[in-house]
Amino acid sequence: MDKFDWTDKKNLTMLADYYEFTMANGYLENGMDDTIAYFDMFFRSIPDDGGYAIMAGVEQLIDYLKTLSFDKEDIEYFRSKEIFSEKFLDYLSNFRFVCDVWAIPEGTPIFPREPLVIVRGPVIQAQLVETMILLTINHQSLIATKASRIVRAADGRSVIEFGSRRAQGYNGAIQGARAAYIGGCIGTSSTIVDRDFGIPALGTMAHSWVQMFPTELEAFRAYAKTYPQSCTLLVDTYNTLKTGIPNAIKVFDEEVLPRGFRPKGIRIDSGDIAYLSKEARAMLDEAGYQDVQIMASSSLDEFVIKDLITQGAKIDAFGVGERLITAKSEPIFGGVYKLVAIEKDGVLKPKIKISNNVEKITTPGFKQIHRFYDRKTHTPMADVITLHHEKVPEEGPYEIFHPLFTWKRKTLTDYYTRPLLIQLFDKGKSVYDGPDVHEIRDFCRTEIEHLWDEVKRFERPHEYFVDLSQELWNIKDRMLVSHK
């Protein structure tokens, strides 16, 4: 786990929708507090009509669940509402988290309808954590997914997260930068993220630096004298081609090389970046700076980056800000949290939500996800959602089928499997010692590399197979028929 624990700053137990507490009080008053509930967190569609999403936010979820408690101020707040019983207030005063929790590890490619987080425990507790589970997983998974799309569009060129000043609040900036790193960015502009997570902070100067000096040349010269070992100059304050790049080359010649260093790069932040980058590359190469990198920024996203590369732009790195940190093109990761079973006296009873909208019908029961990999290529072939106790055969053949169009079937052979959901808490005790953010990023990169190229298409990607086991499908079908 990373060392930084953002929940140290504030107890976030009260960050819950008000109806979580009215329901909790109601459960207690109706003698249901010892009922064990099972909740699934899942999502229904991939942002930007993409082929996959990325799981993120598990570490922060664990930090939150470790610190659940209510202080005297919280109790007095509820008492002032005059609708909560003293029995309930006493319950909160002595609150101790005792739930079991499972989740898909961070960095894993995820798909619609799969349970990302499962909570099993007393219904009051399992209900109270809904808001923060959704908030934490939805936000970071959204940004990690967007970052992955942008990094893929960059096609091997570096991408740096530049979005702190445009994020929705400071936690959005901090956790968003962490998620962007998991999704493949090489670093961030945020200093606090470097300090607390060890994610490299990168950056040189703003236009204000150049404007502070009498001339652009003097600004460049001062910066190069101060930072000759890492000199990257912002060349578009006045005129990129007529003054910016010529002045940069002059300073590289006169201030950087004589000090025994090679200049690092230039950054272009405005104008026709494709054209300017090509002209800049020619000028730098002619001056003997073939190794000097060109960075581009200015309202970039995967679509702009893809177009720039198609146009032959000579860009080595991209600084991506507002459209990444806010996932501007589709700023919602629509995760939901639904009751799927209850347990009374050791007997488990599946629960289902039915809707005229087929996508909103839930899958009942306590579940596990098994990912099937091609034994030769390690490519994920399909995910099968099973009942938690089910075993899948270690050797094929194994037939999968579409959960709605059941005549669509495929037989898998020569595979191996991996269960995706791992246990985070056992009766309220943390039992998962997760990897640090650098290991998560490496794992994520490897998992994405192994996905089918068809799943990674930007336009009309192949729909990855997410199916139900026969036993689970039978339970769901019987419940649907019984409610007809």
| This prediction's pTM | 0.95
Exposure string of 348-387, with b = 16+ CB inside 10 Å and e = fewer, is: eebbbeeeeeeeebbbbbbbbbbbbbbeeeebbbbbbbbb
Express each pLDDT in 129-171 by its tens digit: 999 999 999 999 999 999 999 999 999 999 999 999 999 999 9
Express each pLDDT in 242-265 by its tens digit: 999 999 999 999 999 999 999 999
The answer to whether residues 440 and 28 touch, using CB atoms and an 8 Å cutoff, is: no
Q: Does residue 214 have a pLDDT over 50?
A: yes
| Residues comprising the chain, all counted | 484
| Per-residue model confidence (pLDDT) at position 387 | 98
Q: How far apart are CA 436 and CA 229, in angstroms?
A: 30
Q: pLDDT-based confidence at 10, cuts 50/70/90?
A: low
Q: Which domains does the chain have, with CATH numbers?
A: 6-143+331-482 (3.20.140.10), 205-313 (3.20.20.70)
Q: How far apart are CA 249 and CA 255, in angstroms?
A: 10
User: Which segment of 15-19, 125-129, 216-220, 354-358 scores lowest on mean pLDDT?
Assistant: 354-358
Given the structure tokens 């494709």, which residue do they identify? 274
Answer whether the bond into residue 403 is a cis peptide, omega within 30°: no
Express each pLDDT in 424-480 by its tens digit: 999 999 999 999 999 999 999 999 999 999 999 999 999 999 999 999 999 999 999
